[in-house]
Structure 1
Amino acid sequence: MPEFYDNRELSWLKFNHRVLEEAQNVENPLFERLRFLAIVANNLDEFYMVRVGSMHDQILLEKPADNKTGMSVREQLDAVYLKTQKHNKDRDKAFEKLAKELKDKNVHFLRPENLSSDEKEMMKQYFDQEVMPLLSPQVVDPKHPFPFLANRQSYIIVQLNMKNRKSLGIIAINRQFLKPLVFIPGKKAVKFMRMEDLILMYAQRVFRDMDIEGRSVVRIIRNADLDAEEAYYDEDIDYREFMKMLIKKRSKLRPVRVEFSEDVPKELKAILRKRLKLTASQMFIVKSPLSFEFIAPLEEKLHSTHRETFFYTQLTPQVTPYAEPNTSIMRQILDHDIFISYPFQNTTPVLKLLQEAALDKKVVAIKIALYRVASESKIIAALTEAAENGKDVVVAMELKARFDEENNINWSDKLEDAGCKVIYGVDYYKVHSKIMVILRKDGNLTQTFTHVSSGNYNEKTSRLYTDVNLMTANKEIGEDALEFFNLLQLAKISEANDFTHFLASPMGIKNKFIALIQEEIRVHNVHGDGHIFFKMNSLTDKDVLDTLVEASKAGVKVDLLVRGICCQIPGIPGVSENIRVRSIIGRFLEHSRIYYFHAHGEEKMYISSADLMTRNTEKRVELACPVYDAKIKEELKTILAIGWKDNVNARVMDEKGDYKQVKKEKPAINSQLQLYHRAYQEAEKDFPETLEVDPITWDGITREIF
């Protein structure tokens, strides 16, 4: 197999290590570093629940080896377990260092050995009065069977000895009633103990008259990769009810990992290994917190004690210069295309478009695809108002959005109650597209207003993720959008030639992009100016990778700005020497998907909901929309260029597939901060003085890359 591709799973672990580096980065505020550690832990949980769970299923089904590296599923699992051991050690060191730095700032993670005699007495009283009554301990012996251990739930597990009869003791930590942190009152210092440590310390008071020979906090991670289409869906059952049953079933799948907070006796490990049907390589000792559920109450406490330097300086999304705040957004879209760049610019134009449409008597229909929605959603409120006003509101709600299923089920119920037509996509394909179209009839004139985005209709993530948005009244794009929803309503997937402008997976995006890469090769052979620039979350599709290697061999310059998984290894002579790969991990999650083909100056550009992963190109309903407006093209090129020139948050991949921090030079370019600074300037607002931004020449940076 070729050595110029990386394995998907190992590439993901490299990505999570880049996130861990942000927790180690002393230039980040203290609490934000702790938040990065929480993200690292949560990412790893989900990776094991989905990807490692899936690999265990593949072994049972005897699935073939990885098509990029030739690694068997077993080899991939062994490599993942080995990398996880090192990853955990790095995480432990990062937490230990961070806890020390917090202590230096009078914020104390207390452990039993750190408590004074007065603090121990206070904790003992708190335990006896507030915690002990809420515990439900269980002994495991021949008369008391081993209980079910829930996914991502923390337990105190002890090895007991009573008159030479050994048994297991288990205490579930009930998060519904037990607070994650116990604070010790104080005027200056913030001192606290995690609930797990408190119960672990006083476990002997629970298991009285028994000797404890070993104890640990234990946390189980279970396989969550249960696909709806493979779970024997009965068409006679309401799909929402089926999904509710599926969620319950998923919570009881086989364990794939167990974590211990302490080194425990071999006997205790052996018992758990046997009961949970795990191998030794699936059991990990983690000295840093197993769960970061304490993050929210600690953040609240730190804010209440005015420790603002522990946090990023607050930034406020600005108004896009493409839209006037006090003018009808529909009129403006009829006049010109509108571009919005999250999180630097706010969601107001999108919300305003929906709200105007809900009240406009000439609006006939509103159609939208929802994947992840905020828990308190103004989008949903506007849709329900439109339906109540008699509009034909069609909502393609994806109930299979991983770990957001329950939220989406609840929203679908509310939308239907309001009179919206809720559809659930197409069999065997997730609808991951980000699109809305509004149909307006003014006499004989039919108008469409189309919004396409790389990101979700989610007000919360719009402040945390970088995404690009296009709003247009282009008639043909509007017709494509209406046809897209017509196909969904008929439970059909689009064919390659169904649209005039749109590209749609599973049939269109990959084939068209491969054709455009091949066209770039042909044009380069004539003119020598071939250039491809892709920005995305992940790149794994083997067919696309092979075609990019062809382009590199032909001399086409290929720039890949990939936040997460990237299976393309650059810089290998004779193979990928013309490919460059960079990744940005920073304050905001890089989520936008932008695809650029130079085409000898024609400059074909697309924004899309799709990464170039096989799951997106072949197993999801995705959209890519061309950008024709010259000014918006320049905006997109500027985003690509400033991202490429980032020398603060960027890493570059070398020819071995390893990532190195980009060398910091002057001017210091933090692309996310520069884009925010630019948004403030365009809105004629004062940028926070505490944030230093080196002056740059935007046009010069764009010309340098393009």
Structure 2
Amino acid sequence: MLRQTRISSYIFNSPFISRDLSWIKFNERVFDQARHPGRNIFEKLKFLAITSSNQDEFFMIRVGSLYNYIDYGRERVDYSGLREIPFKRKLFADSQAFHAEQHEHFLKNLMPEFKENGFRIVKLDELEDYELKQVKRYFKKTIFPMITPMVYDSYHTFPILMNKLLIYGVITHNPSDKKEQRKLSFIQIPQNLPRFYEIERENELLFVPIENIICRFIAKFFRNVEILAVNLFRIIRNGDFTLEESEDIDNNFLEEIKQKLKTRKTGRVVRIEVEEGYDSWMMRLLKKRWTIDNDNVFEVSKQSLMDFTGLWQIIKHKEFADAVPTGHPPVPPLTYTQADRAENIFEVLKQKDILLHHPYNSIDPLLTLLEQSAEDPDVLAIKITIYRLADDSRIITALLKAAENGKHVSVLFELKARFDEENNMREAKRLQQAGCFVIYGISSFKTHTKLMLIVRKEGSKVRRYVHMSSGNYNEKTARLYTDVSLLTSHDKYANDVSEFFNVITGHSNPETYRYLITAPRDMRQQLIELIRQEAENARQGLPSAISIKINSLEDRETIQELYAASEAGVPVKLVVRGICCLRPGRAGLSENITVKSIVGDYLEHARLYYFHNGGEPLLYAGSADIMVRSFDRRLESLFQVLDPMVLKECLLILDYNLRDNTNSYILQEDGNYIKVQPAEGEEPFNVHQEFFRITNDDLENIHLFEEQLMEEEDEAAVEEEAQEVSSKTK
């Protein structure tokens, strides 16, 4: 306890918040949605399943990365100032506490709601005789033929146990052997079996966990031997490839990616979930085999459920389809009216820019533009960057059609999009076989930017149409993530985007872009210069302000510049959904900085950067967060918003995010978050509902930094007047 207190004190004294500890706080905010009294049981289970999936990925990637340092003997100092081993202890202690909180909530608060909602998760002892016969038949006909026990003893090597699967460790003794001789066998539950066996009753659905069925009949696999213990467990393996990634793209890059996908299945074990009451002999063997200790062992109550991601079978069950909210239907964009939609979209874009704010606005205008381009005989070329795709993607279908119609199609496909590598490789090959020019990433950089360029012959001229976005070309996530994207034919954008594609598909190296900020080239430095300009304005007594909405804030250099701006008197308002390593509200460091996180019905994904700029607002949008990886290891882009109407709408997005008092959490100096509640007499303001109701009138009623800027302008006016009086007196 004393050691934990010392570590916590050490962490608090750091000017930075640990990235990984901040991420755990983010997952707690997501888990908070599973406790929301206004959500029904299926929504609560959805958020519980999401946090479980998040936790798996966190251990695979972030904890896996930590073990890369530990296993390879590399030094690592966390932002909190802690070295590898003390930080590992703190990280696992917080993870263990979160794990316990999840299971306690599931048992005490969620399970009691099941029956009144028409379903239950049951044990075999709760079934009627005829239902038990059904289960036995299912085991005999389906489960038993699929399973192969794997023994580990002096004659058999230790088997490869798969990542994220439920596994039984079975300890047996052969009566003909010496009394102390034991053998350990493993039964892996195949991932292509449903998580639950379903039984329909007149008024309810019963879900029987598959591990309960296997446990009941496990003796069928071990005839004529004594079963000493049966232990259910699940492992998470290291899925981080940072140490192995090659920077040589010519060295059979595709094959390298395939090999890395294989190592994801056999990476070192970083966590084991195990049912309580496990056999100590088995655990000693596993801990020694995988070089783990008690920190890595997460116990699960026999009354609870191992792996909450299996709850998706219940959440998505057709019986409960009406119980899961489908969300508000999209509304027309303010910049794309009903009259506009009656016209050819090319003609509309000649006249104005179109801002799409997803999921409040549909992705259909973008799809319409791309599908029309594929068929339009005047379209000469399509260039696009792809990071993640939906299943049965209309984007891919349109690109294939365009290639079939003889158009030049260039696609930069990111093969290193985490957990989408296989799908991206498959789709990239389809495009390549259709005659598209496919680029598989750029050297050691991950292509995260979202850009599209369409070249069209119009009479004797050529016009270029551009799409720039903060989100992926994915129709599915466009209904779930909040993103902004711009459709335009503005030459100022087209020149920069054309140049950018020349860079990534060839060997061009432009001196500068006018309206794009790109990484890894100069994004960090340009953002820092914008922050410094606001700080200088504040020192000169001029109005200044910064507001940034991003997913993650982690880059140390940029954080230090925000601290300097705060000390200069710049009001800084940040909306950071997930990781935030900046410590707000610290005296003499960040007194003028506030940080809020919004977590609710939609996943906040848009990135917006606002700088007051002496009353001539500069606002950028795009794909990049303030992270080392975004600035140094990714191809990213931010575009300056030029159109006055689009600029107002982006300012309104920031304003509404700052006004939200329903989905918001305020980051405290100590790294904890406090849920925002409407003040007494204050109306609830839910940003995830308000954007479905906005009108053009709302664009004239934006209050971003209004009070602070008015005060600063008044002070500046008073100072100017005083100087004039002083000058006349002299």
Does the alignment reach a TM-score above 0.5?
yes
2 CA distance for matches of 1:546 and 1:270?
A: 46
Q: Deviations over 1:123-182 (max 9, x none)?
A: 334323432232212332222332110111221112223433322121111122x22211
Q: CA shift at 1:519, angstroms?
A: 0.1
Q: CA shift at 1:339, angstroms?
A: 0.3
Question: Does residue 1:417 correspond to 2:433, yes or no?
Answer: yes
Question: Does residue 1:380 correspond to 2:411, yes or no?
Answer: no
Q: Deviations over 1:230-284 (max 9, x none)?
A: 34867353x3333223312332221111111333021111111122232222121
Whichever residue aligns with residue 52 of structure 2, its letter is A
Q: Is the 8 A contact 1:103 1:109 kept in 2?
A: no
Deviates more, 1:28-37 or 1:514-523: 28-37
User: What are the equivalent positions in structure 2 for 1:247-646 lying under 5 Å apart?
Assistant: 247-287=261-301, 288-292=304-308, 294-301=310-317, 303-304=318-319, 308-309=322-323, 311-323=324-336, 324-490=340-506, 497-646=511-660
Instruction: Describe the shift of the 1:469–1:234 C-alpha distance in structure 2 as closer, same or farther (beyond 3 A).
Output: closer
Whichever residue aligns with residue 365 of structure 1, its letter is A
Match of 2:169 in 1: 157
TM-score, normalization: structure 1?
A: 0.92
Match of 2:160 in 1: 148
Match of 2:197 in 1: 182
Say how many residue pairs are matched: 685
Match of 2:91 in 1: 80
Deviates more, 1:550-559 or 1:97-106: 97-106
TM-score, normalization: structure 2?
A: 0.89
2 CA distance for matches of 1:308 and 1:337?
A: 38
Q: Is the 8 A contact 2:52 2:309 kept in 1?
A: no
Match of 1:648 in 2: 662
Instruction: Describe the shift of the 1:190–1:698 C-alpha distance in structure 2 as closer, same or farther (beyond 3 A).
Output: farther
Instruction: Describe the shift of the 1:540–1:703 C-alpha distance in structure 2 as closer, same or farther (beyond 3 A).
Output: closer
Q: Deviations over 1:386-405 (max 9, x none)?
A: 11112111101001111110
Instruction: Describe the shift of the 1:620–1:697 C-alpha distance in structure 2 as closer, same or farther (beyond 3 A).
Output: closer
Match of 1:111 in 2: 123
1 CA distance for matches of 2:140 and 2:491?
A: 70
Give SS of 1:447's match. Answer: strand
Q: Is the 8 A contact 2:567 2:588 kept in 1?
A: yes
Whichever residue aligns with residue 86 of structure 2, its letter is E
Question: Does residue 1:14 correspond to 2:28, yes or no?
Answer: no
1 CA distance for matches of 2:35 and 2:229?
A: 32
Out of 46, 52, 61, the position equivalent to 1:41 is 52
Q: Is the 8 A contact 2:518 2:635 kept in 1?
A: yes
Q: CA shift at 1:20, angstroms?
A: 1.0
Match of 1:204 in 2: 219
2 CA distance for matches of 1:73 and 1:116?
A: 54
Q: Is the 8 A contact 1:180 1:293 kept in 2?
A: no
Give SS of 1:565's match. Answer: coil
Give SS of 2:540's match. Answer: helix
Question: Does residue 1:191 correspond to 2:202, yes or no?
Answer: no
Q: CA shift at 1:505, angstroms?
A: 0.4
2 CA distance for matches of 1:586 and 1:702?
A: 22
Unaligned runs of 5+ in 2: 1-9, 710-730
Unaligned runs of 5+ in 1: 683-694
2 CA distance for matches of 1:308 and 1:611?
A: 37
2 CA distance for matches of 1:368 and 1:598?
A: 32
Whichever residue aligns with residue 213 of structure 2, its letter is L
1 CA distance for matches of 2:292 and 2:626?
A: 34
Q: Deviations over 1:414-457 (max 9, x none)?
A: 11111110012321111100000112233442311111000000
Match of 1:139 in 2: 151
Q: Is the 8 A contact 2:493 2:515 kept in 1?
A: yes
Deviates more, 1:531-540 or 1:627-636: 627-636
Deviates more, 1:433-442 or 1:321-330: 321-330
Whichever residue aligns with residue 132 of structure 1, its letter is F
1 CA distance for matches of 2:243 and 2:498?
A: 27
Q: CA shift at 1:296, angstroms?
A: 4.1
Instruction: Describe the shift of the 1:152–1:698 C-alpha distance in structure 2 as closer, same or farther (beyond 3 A).
Output: farther
Instruction: Describe the shift of the 1:29–1:41 C-alpha distance in structure 2 as closer, same or farther (beyond 3 A).
Output: same
Q: CA shift at 1:286, angstroms?
A: 2.7
2 CA distance for matches of 1:117 and 1:355?
A: 57
Deviates more, 1:462-471 or 1:322-331: 322-331
User: What are the equivalent positions in structure 2 for 1:199-238 lying under 5 Å apart?
Assistant: 199-227=214-242, 230-231=245-246, 235=250, 237=252
Whichever residue aligns with residue 26 of structure 1, its letter is P
Kindly name which structure, 1 or 2, has the bigger radius of gyration based on alpha carbons: 2
Q: CA shift at 1:112, angstroms?
A: 4.1
Whichever residue aligns with residue 158 of structure 2, its letter is F
Match of 1:690 in 2: none
Q: Is the 8 A contact 2:664 2:675 kept in 1?
A: yes
Give SS of 2:521's match. Answer: coil
Instruction: Describe the shift of the 1:122–1:359 C-alpha distance in structure 2 as closer, same or farther (beyond 3 A).
Output: closer
- Give the 4+ runs in structure 1 shifted more than 6 A: 695-698
1 CA distance for matches of 2:445 and 2:523?
A: 15
Q: Is the 8 A contact 2:484 2:606 kept in 1?
A: yes
Q: CA shift at 1:697, angstroms?
A: 10
Q: CA shift at 1:111, angstroms?
A: 2.5
User: What are the equivalent positions in structure 2 for 1:663-674 lying under 5 Å apart?
Assistant: 663-665=677-679, 666-674=682-690
Deviates more, 1:288-297 or 1:312-321: 288-297
Percent of paired sites with the same residue: 34
Q: Is the 8 A contact 2:249 2:444 kept in 1?
A: no
2 CA distance for matches of 1:345 and 1:471?
A: 13
1 CA distance for matches of 2:703 and 2:112?
A: 41
Q: Is the 8 A contact 1:9 1:76 kept in 2?
A: no
Q: CA shift at 1:357, angstroms?
A: 1.7
Q: Is the 8 A contact 1:4 1:576 kept in 2?
A: no
1 CA distance for matches of 2:28 and 2:529?
A: 35
Match of 1:24 in 2: 35
Q: Deviations over 1:166-201 (max 9, x none)?
A: 22121111122x222111221211111111222123
Q: CA shift at 1:657, angstroms?
A: 1.2
